Structure formats: structure tokens, C-alpha cells
Amino acid sequence: MDDLIAIPVWALGLIGMFAAIAITDRIILPLARAYLAMRRERAVEALNNKLALPIAPFKLARRRALISQLMLDPAVQSAILEQAQQSGEPVRKVERRAERYAREIIPAFSATLYFHVGTRMARSLSTALYRVRVGASDVQTLQDISPGSAVVFVINHRSNMDYVLVTYLAARSSALSYAVGEWARLPGLATLIRSMGAYFIRRGSGNVLYRRVLARYVHIATASGVTQAIFPEGGLSRDGRLQPARLGLLNYMVADFDPGGPRDIVFVPVGLNYDRVLEDRVLLGAASDVEAGLRPRFAFRLTAFAGFVGRMITARLLGRWYRNGYACVSFGAPLSLRRYVTERQLDFRTQAEAQRNLAIAALGDTLMEGVGRAIPALPVGLVATALLRAGAQPISTLELKLAVARLMADLRQMGGQVFVPRADEEYAVDVGLRLLVLRRLVIDTDGIVQIAPGQDAVLRYYANATAHLTTVAQPSVTQAA
């Protein structure tokens, strides 16, 4: 019994290695996961106590679980069988394709990344480029929404900065989930965007199976109370005007809505506007391409971007940086879908497809009317409108201020929102005129103001932001290029 057993050093090393692996796998990792999960739950609980709209548990679920839930959805399974029968492919092959679509769409939300990285970056970028202000907003807008409702912010789309600006301003209310186009599916960027809770969509896709998977995800997320933000116009406005709503995402959200169900859907109209849209000339160029029967081009020019950054840095160093004027967000009155359909005796689930499409189109028009009323008129747009109405005729700054004052009164009478910085209308005109002069869009010669040659289109772009509320008269004389 006292005989010694000799074990080679290499065998002892293997035994130790396997023992360490077993201890790590069975003890250390489970304890670490439990600790991190507890920290995550406490962090989310603390966040939800601060947020007006708590983060829905669906949004916090593991991505693999969400993919499994979506793949087991009866509508998705039915779509897979239909596709297999129509194409003659094996069901398993079609199912794998549907799962690939699900993995492409579903986000991997991280509350830590969203609130500690994303919103801080959004705040830094927004305030570096603009003087950010909240315009008209009912203080009780979010507080009065019934608990448990799925809240959808419906926003006009003027710039790619919209995502950044709304993320920053909504950070105290909730974590928003966006639909993002294929432009963001770049290596590295896609992972970051998914972690921020965004889901990817293929705009204009005619793939029936893909659209069914997307539709079910949007429906399940909405039915689970996920707070979302949608841009119904479907793309950036090329001429500055508010565009009609595209009904794809809206249809997915409301088509199976149960008025008697436990969860209401509340739409909150949001109006965005900028004194300067960074992409304005690119968008106007795309609009010109369309008018000429060409495919619109949205080419990114590195030299132009580098020049913009260089000018910004130089202006900061010289103390001449005025940022890009104001960026303003206004919130309209919320619309309860339950109340909306009850008052009109609608039930999207039981209507024929043609009738349902008409009813959803009417809902889209109602929402866009609310968004249109929420879009704030800003100094640059007001000055641009007044100058366009004057046409080629130079006017004095005093005449300009009187014209803007009348325009403000007209907009308010029509139910529009007017943002007046410092509550000083004369200062608002000075700010708008200064920005236009700095951009060489307007010439100010000793108090006599006129549009710079060839810059009518740019001014009209900014005037068009509130053109749905008032008519901007065409210039009596077209400026020479």
C-alpha cells in the first residue's frame, strides 16, 4: 500500500490542464455569467427607473432566442412551406434561407453600449455641429401614454444626422429601435449598429419570403412593446419638402392590431429641421438627376468631406466657428391607435386587403399631417422664404425683418411651429441672414440683401421645409447661373 506510483510530468500537466478546463467551464464561467447577468439586470432596472418609456424585455432578450422565436412563428413557417411548394426546393433549404434573413434583420441590443457610448457620441456630435434645441413639446406627451403601450416616434427625414439627433434627445425617454437601410451593412459598422438596437431592412425588396420574415419581426417587436422610431418618407427629401408616407413598416405594425388586446400602439409625431443640412447640395444634385431622367447619384466625395472638416477646424482655431446654426426637434400630440380604430369602427385584421390598404393609407396621411405640423420653422428657412418671395429684387434688412415677421404670424395661424431663438424675432433674422451670407448664398451689401446668382435652388430647399403649411412664391426673375 505504501508503493509509490510514478506519473510522468507530461501526464501530470495534462491532468492539471483538463482539471483547470473543467473548473473554468463548470464553476468559474457560470459564476461569471451569473454575476454579469446580475449586474446587467441591475443596470437595466436602474435605467428603467429613469426612463419615461422602460426598455421592453423583448429588446433585452438574447439574439439567438429572438431568431428561434421568429423562425417558429406560424406565419413564417407558413411562408416557408409556400415558398418550398412554389419553387420545388426542399423545405429545409428554404428554412435555412429564412433563418439567414432573420439573422440579417434581428439586432443584438446592448444597453451599456447604447446609453454609455452611443448616446454620448450622439450628444457630442450633435452639439459640435449645431445649437440643438427642443421646440414645441407637450410636457405630458410621454407621461400620459398608458403604461405598457408600444410607442412609435414618427419622424420626417431631412438628413442622416436625424438618427444621431433623435438618439441624443430621446436618451432620457427610452432606447429607440430604428430600421436601417443596407448602406449601414459594412463590416464593423453593422455590428455597432445592431448593438444600438437597429434592425436592417432591404428597401424595395420584392422577395416574398424576406418580406414575410421582416413583417413578422416588426409585428412581434411592436406587440412586445419595443419603442421604435420610423421615417415614413423612406428616404431623405431631395427637394426639402415633406414627402408622402411609404406604408411598408406601418403596415407591418398595425395590420394584425387587436383593438381589444392588452397593448395599445401610440404614435408620436416628431418634426426635425436644420438651419443647414450637411447633404443639401448632394440631395439637390440627385433631384436634378431625376429630373433629367438619370439615376440619382449620392456619391461620397472624400475631398469635399475633408474640406468641410478642415474649414470647421480652421474656423474654430480662428474663433469664427458659428456651428451650422440651429437644429430643432418638436413633438406633436400622440395618436392612440386603439382610439383611432375604435372611433372609425375599423379592424385591420378582418378587412379585405384592398380596404385594409386604404385604411392604413389614411392612417399614414393622418400621421404625416401631425409630423408636418410639428416641423419647426427655423431662421434660415424663414429668411430664405422671405427672399424667394422678393425674387430678384434686392430688399433692405428692415424690409426683410418685416417680411419674416409676417411669415411667422402666417405660420402660427396655420398651426405651424416657429422656433425663435432667444424669443427675439429680430435676432432670428440676423442669425438666418448671417448663416446664408457665410455660405455665400446671399449677398448683403450695406444692409441691402439679395440672393446670390445661381443659389435659388438651395434657398428653396430650406424654404420647402415648411412649404406644406404655406406657399412659397416663385421668384419673378430667375437668377443667372
Q: In whole angstroms, what is the distance from residue 233 CA to residue 288 CA?
A: 19
Q: Give the 3-state secondary structure of residue 407.
A: helix
* pLDDT per residue as tens digits for the range 65-87: 999 999 999 999 999 999 999 99
Between these two residues, 12 and 456, which has the higher pLDDT value? 456
Residues 299, 254: contact at Cβ < 8 Å? Answer: no
For 417-440, what is the mean pLDDT? Answer: 94
Query: Which residues lie across from 395 on neighbouring strands?
Result: 449
Indicate the domain borders of the chain. Answer: 50-128+135-273+331-374, 279-323, 377-466
Residue 221, CA distances (Å) to 164, 254, 352 in order: 22, 12, 24
pLDDT confidence tier of residue 40, bands split at 50, 70 and 90: low
Start-to-end CA distance of the chain, whole Å, equals 106
For 58-62, what is the mean pLDDT? Answer: 85
Question: What confidence score (pLDDT) does residue 475 get?
Answer: 34
Residue 477 reports pLDDT greater than 50: no
Q: In whole angstroms, what is the distance from residue 469 CA to residue 131 CA?
A: 25
Single-letter amino acid, residue 347: D
pLDDT confidence tier of residue 302, bands split at 50, 70 and 90: low
User: Residue 36 has which C-alpha cell?
Assistant: 454579469
Residues 392, 352: contact at Cβ < 8 Å? Answer: no
Q: Please, what sign has the CA dihedral across residues 119, 120, 123, 126?
A: negative
Question: What confidence score (pLDDT) does residue 263 get?
Answer: 93
Residues 227, 56: contact at Cβ < 8 Å? Answer: yes
CB atoms within 10 A of CB 205: 13
Residue 3 reports pLDDT greater than 80: no
For 411-427, what is the mean pLDDT? Answer: 92
Q: In whole angstroms, what is the distance from residue 317 CA to residue 337 CA?
A: 51
Instruction: Phi first, then psi: give them for residue 219, nearest 5 degrees.
Output: -65, -45
pLDDT confidence tier of residue 313, bands split at 50, 70 and 90: confident
pLDDT confidence tier of residue 42, bands split at 50, 70 and 90: low
Question: What confidence score (pLDDT) does residue 462 get?
Answer: 97
Instruction: Phi first, then psi: give them for residue 456, nearest 5 degrees.
Output: -55, -45
Of 416, 415, 145, 161, whose CA–CA distance to 268 is shortest?
Answer: 145
Between these two residues, 135 and 448, which has the higher pLDDT value? 448
Q: How far is CA 43 from the centre of its chain?
A: 25
* pLDDT per residue as tens digits for the range 241-298: 999 998 889 999 999 999 998 999 999 999 999 999 999 988 998 887 767 666 666 5
Residue 358 reports pLDDT greater than 50: yes
- CATH code for residues 377-466: 1.10.10
Among 9-23, 221-235, 284-298, 409-423, the minimum mean pLDDT is found in 284-298
Helix (H) or strand (E) holding 123: helix 119-129
User: Residue 410 has which C-alpha cell?
Assistant: 402666417
Question: What confidence score (pLDDT) does residue 45 get?
Answer: 64
Backbone region of residue 234 per phi and psi (left: phi > 0; alpha: psi in -120 to 50; beta: other values) = left
As a whole number, the mean pLDDT across the chain is 85
Of 362, 331, 335, whose CA–CA distance to 346 is shortest?
Answer: 362
Q: What is the DSSP pairing of strand 131-134 with strand 326-331?
A: parallel
pLDDT confidence tier of residue 26, bands split at 50, 70 and 90: confident
Residues in the chain: 481
pLDDT confidence tier of residue 474, bands split at 50, 70 and 90: very low
Residue 303 reports pLDDT greater than 70: no
Query: Which residues lie across from 133 on neighbouring strands?
Result: 328
- Could you tell me how many helices (H) and strands (E) the chain has, helices first? 20, 13
pTM for the predicted model, two decimal places:
0.85
Q: In whole angstroms, what is the distance from residue 6 CA to residue 231 CA?
A: 73
Q: In whole angstroms, what is the distance from residue 431 CA to residue 425 CA?
A: 10
For 310-315, what is the mean pLDDT? Answer: 71
Residue 228 reports pLDDT greater than 60: yes
Residue 116 reports pLDDT greater than 90: no
